[in-house]
Amino acid sequence: MLKDRKGVSAIVGVIVLLASLMICAIVFSQLSSQAKAVAQQNNDTAALNFIDQTITTGYSALNMFIIAAIVMAAGFILALLIAWGRSGTGGV
């Protein structure tokens, strides 16, 4: 049984964050393609420019959140290795 509840909650937090990011990326891509198709049908260049800027900004924000999740996972792995080193048994 895992003794460190904070570690378990950190793992669950990272998993939930990554799953949420994947769902957000799928929804964002679908909505952006639909909005772009409507703007193209209406021949609205201002809307197309706005949608392109929004897509660029949205994917940049998603990339930053993905980097944050990777840093959290790396921090957890590092903490796990430090805990294993302190225990001296080589295992949890």
pLDDT in tens, 6-37: 767 777 877 887 788 888 888 988 999 999 99
pLDDT category at 1 given cuts 50, 70, 90 is: very low
DSSP state at residue 43: T
| Identity of residue 84 | W
What's the confidence (pLDDT) of residue 84?
A: 79
Cα 56 to its chain centre, rounded Å, is: 16
pLDDT in tens, 61-79: 888 888 887 887 788 788 7
C-alpha closest to that of 58 among 28, 27, 13: 28
What's the confidence (pLDDT) of residue 3?
A: 63
